[in-house]
Amino acid sequence: MKKLLIVYHSKTGNTRKMADAVLAGALREEEIETTFLHAFDAGPEHLMACDGLLIGTPENFGYMSGAIKDFFDRTYYEVLDHALNLPYAVFVSADNDGTGAVREIDRIMKGYPMRKVCEPLISRKGVSEEDIQKSEELGETLACGIAMGIF
């Protein structure tokens, strides 16, 4: 069975709400096994065992959160030789921006390398019902795409 990995960090709960909705969407695809991990609990072994990745972060100071950066720092060299080339997508909770976190994650992902397969989802000023719905759609899209071999 193919596997989807969701890695997230959240300080005050907004990204966690999105991550929970992303997970709910992914679980609609029964052909995929989904692993849901806080960034501090995720390591290279999880990347090497998955077929696709969803990254969720708050935007902090125009960047991803330190926990997500730490995840990348701890896994980059470890998986580099495996040329994973995984499909990935990003979701971000921000106050009024979010684009800095997306841009910098995309830069890092090129190095692994990984392939961006969906537009980023940015939620601003709290997580609305619409954001929850879009998060569910994002999770389901990644899971279905991987299951069907589209990504």
The CB-of-91 to ligand FMN minimum distance in angstroms stands at: 10
- Closest to ligand FMN by CB, 13 or 113: 13
CA-based end-to-end distance of the chain? 15
- Closest to ligand FMN by CB, 94 or 146: 94
Per the CB < 8 A criterion, the answer to whether 148 and 51 are in contact is: no
The CB-of-50 to ligand FMN minimum distance in angstroms stands at: 22
- Closest to ligand FMN by CB, 11 or 82: 11
The CB-of-135 to ligand FMN minimum distance in angstroms stands at: 12
- Closest to ligand FMN by CB, 15 or 135: 15
Question: CB neighbours of 79 closer than 8 A, spacing ≥ 6?
Answer: 44, 47, 48, 112
What tokens appear for 15 in the block? 């990204």
Cα(151)–Cα(147) distance, integer angstroms: 9
The CB-of-122 to ligand FMN minimum distance in angstroms stands at: 9
Query: Using CB under 6 A as the criterion, which residues of the chain lie in contact with ligand FMN when the complex forms?
Result: 10-16, 58-62, 93-98
Instruction: Provide the CA 20 distance to its chain's centre, in angstroms.
Output: 12
